[in-house]
Amino acid sequence: MPSSLDLPRKSAPVRDFPSQVRTFDHVWKIEEDQLTPMRTDDASLGSAALNVNKIDRELFDFARDVRDGFSAPLKFIPSRWLYDERGSSLFSQITRLPEYYPTERELEIFSTHASSMAKALLGSNWKVVELGAGDGRKTEILLRSWQRSEVQFSYVPVDVSPSALEELCKRINTGCPGVRARPRVGENLSVLRELSDARIRGEKICVLFMGSSIGNCAWEDVENFLSELRATLLPGDLALIGFDLIKDSKRLIQAYDDSQGVTRDFNLNLLRRMNRELGANFDLDQFRHEASWNPGLSGMESWLVSLRDQMVDIRALNTSFKFRRWEPIRTEISLKFSPEVIDDLACANGFAPLARYEDRAGDFTDAIWEATDAFWM
């Protein structure tokens, strides 16, 4: 790790960084989390403000995250921006690659153990809330088995992307007839809180958070997420969480830098998205995908490395950023867990670990936790 003195200089002093975003014909001022129109004289802006606020909230958040990430000493972009339509479809392809084992392993776990998991749910009425809808392949297997085991439940997939939810519901409605999917568009924990507040007497919540999505952030974010998750639940509620296990780093690197280059396309698509949505002019040939194992973090990191000194304009931010030759942009973290860490995370955040299932190869694990009463924060 180079000291900060060795790092390439930022492309401009922080005070010069843009504080405005352009969307369509309007210019918006960024203040903290607020988006305010700069041209209050514009007669049409009153109603446009409403629309733009709704439609372009995402675009605004994207622009702000890019501005903040490119202003940091080590440039980064939060990984959620990898998942535009093309990114989601590339990720779906990744889950079918021979090197990317987690999806197959979790499928194996559900195929083998779903009926045993069902025992934890028998005797109550459940709302099964899935956070961050995948393409539904794994959910379908799990829910079908729970139906056969006569678990009483309704199914609520939650995602920020309406199109992802639509796909998923199609799959569940045909694959698991009898399960009526009631999709909810929105941010995971705020939707979960609403669902938890609105529950009918005796109804319990079982949260599904699969695919090791929980590892897609820094460790402190894992802790924050879990304590907030616990705070939205009641004692007796359950969480079924997928964790990718620590393994040979050679296999991890292959999983995140596959031979067909799908993961490379997935990562570079972020630059394409900035070009399209923020009016940037990244040359995709001038950046290289890299995946590295960081033992100190216990995580994989994905990077886009600049292959030469270059300036990139971002019209939505009304500015340019400098990228030095070999300068990396971090685009993703994928934490890897040990069984002990998983149990500790449960206990430290107000959950009791009930059961844990692994695939035969020991690559992946799904943990079932129960929210305990002894929780105060």
Q: Which is nearer to ligand AVJ, 213 or 269 (CB)?
A: 213
User: What is the secondary structure of 274-292 as a DSSP string?
Assistant: HHHHH-B---GGGEEEEEE
Candidate list 213, 306, 310, 319; residue touching ligand AVJ; CB under 6 A: 213
Size, binding site for ligand AVJ by CB under 6 A: 10
Q: CB neighbours of 307 closer than 8 A, spacing ≥ 6?
A: 285, 286, 287, 288, 325, 326
Amino acid occupying residue 243: F
Which of the ranges 108-116, 194-202, 206-214, 231-239 carries the binding residues for ligand AVJ, by CB under 6 A? 206-214
Mapped onto helix, strand or coil, the DSSP state of residue 163 is: helix
Q: Does 78 bind ligand AVJ (CB under 6 A)?
A: no
Nearest distance, CB of residue 332 and ligand AVJ, angstroms: 6
The CA–CA distances, whole Å, from 86 to 89, 184, 186, 195, 267 equal 5, 22, 20, 30, 11
Q: Does 216 bind ligand AVJ (CB under 6 A)?
A: yes
Q: Which is nearer to ligand AVJ, 253 or 354 (CB)?
A: 253
Q: Does 212 bind ligand AVJ (CB under 6 A)?
A: yes
Q: Does 104 bind ligand AVJ (CB under 6 A)?
A: no
| Residues 254-313 within binding reach of ligand AVJ (CB under 6 A) | 256, 263
Q: Does 332 bind ligand AVJ (CB under 6 A)?
A: yes
Longest dimension (CA), the chain: 66
Nearest distance, CB of residue 81 and ligand AVJ, angstroms: 13
The CA–CA distances, whole Å, from 45 to 19, 21, 315 equal 19, 15, 21
Candidate list 94, 164, 179, 229; residue touching ligand AVJ; CB under 6 A: 94
Whether the Cβ atoms of residue 230 and residue 349 lie closer than 8 Å to each other: yes
Amino acid occupying residue 44: S
Q: Does 188 bind ligand AVJ (CB under 6 A)?
A: no
Q: Which is nearer to ligand AVJ, 140 or 244 (CB)?
A: 244
Nearest distance, CB of residue 102 and ligand AVJ, angstroms: 6
Q: Which is nearer to ligand AVJ, 20 or 263 (CB)?
A: 263
Between vectors from CA 98 to CA 81 and to CA 79, what angle results, nearest 5°?
A: 10
Give me the sheet containing 328-335, strands edge to edge: 287-294, 299-306, 328-335
Q: Which residues bind ligand AVJ (CB under 6 A)?
A: 94, 102, 211-213, 216, 256, 263, 332, 334
